[in-house]
Amino acid sequence: MKFVMNGSLIIGTMDGANVEIAEEIGEENMFIFGERVEGVSRIQKELHEGKRGYLGSRLQKVFGAIRTGFFGDTKVIHGILDALENGGDHYITCFDFYSYVDA
């Protein structure tokens, strides 16, 4: 919130402090992306039940670049990427990826 008082841009999901900030400054003054709080449980359930089509080709390219070592050492990251691709995206980070890019 201190950054907002100093004129910073806000890009984020509508949860936590961003909800409070939106109430004060209006959503039109923020760059909001991702699923709203009401939809998160539904998406988590779908992922748990096996939905996997949310990754899309652009995000798969990002994962591929990470796996090849383009960004550095990959020893730790492979397990994380595997989990995200196979339903372990509890915080729906991958699901919100395209909305984030658009924002």
Structural domain boundaries enclosing 52 = 39-103
| pLDDT value for 72 | 86
Domains in the chain, number:
2
**pTM score > 0.85 for this model?**
no
Residue 52 · residue 87 · CB < 8 Å: yes
Beta strand extents in the chain (DSSP E only): 11-12, 31-32
Which residues touch 56 (CB under 8 Å, ≥6 apart)? Answer: 97, 98
Q: What is the structure's pLDDT at 59?
A: 93
Residues 9 and 44 occupy one common structural domain:
no
13 and 56 fall within a common domain: no
Check whether residue 61 and residue 21 sit in a common domain.
Answer: no
Chunk the chain into consecutive blocks of 10 residues (it has 103) and report each block's average pLDDT, rounded to whole numbers. Answer: 76 87 89 89 88 86 93 87 88 91 92
DSSP-based three-state secondary structure for 97: helix
Res 50: pLDDT: 85
pLDDT of residue 1: 64
Same domain, 61 and 28: no
**What sign does the CA torsion over 12, 56, 46, 75 have?**
negative
